[in-house]
Structure 1
């Protein structure tokens, strides 16, 4: 089992909190870089949310 699989298993059921954490971390990076890499940070946030299931509603498909 890879490290990513272990993390996913540990975070399962806490998708909302994961999404909030990803948003908070991205906002911190944007603040520290004064928005210079905002597009890259946003892309990274989206991909992390997809990877960890934080882009899904509790009982539905991924949000658009």
Structure 2
């Protein structure tokens, strides 16, 4: 979490011996990222039919790609 705070450039949590709570910056950050999981699912979903089933890989060689 400290690394994330360094990347964001703000303290996201108030840490005390009694616990941890979000700072105002932490609440703002959380509001900004809450929808990312559903956005990723939406972006991946249309592509799923184009991918091989999990556990199986398909790879084209450069010769196959030129055809």
TM-score where L is the length of structure 1: 0.31
Instruction: Choose between structure 1 and 2: higher helix proportion.
Output: 1
Structure with the larger RCO, 1 or 2 (CA within 8 Å, 6+ apart):
1
- Structure ID, larger Rg: 2
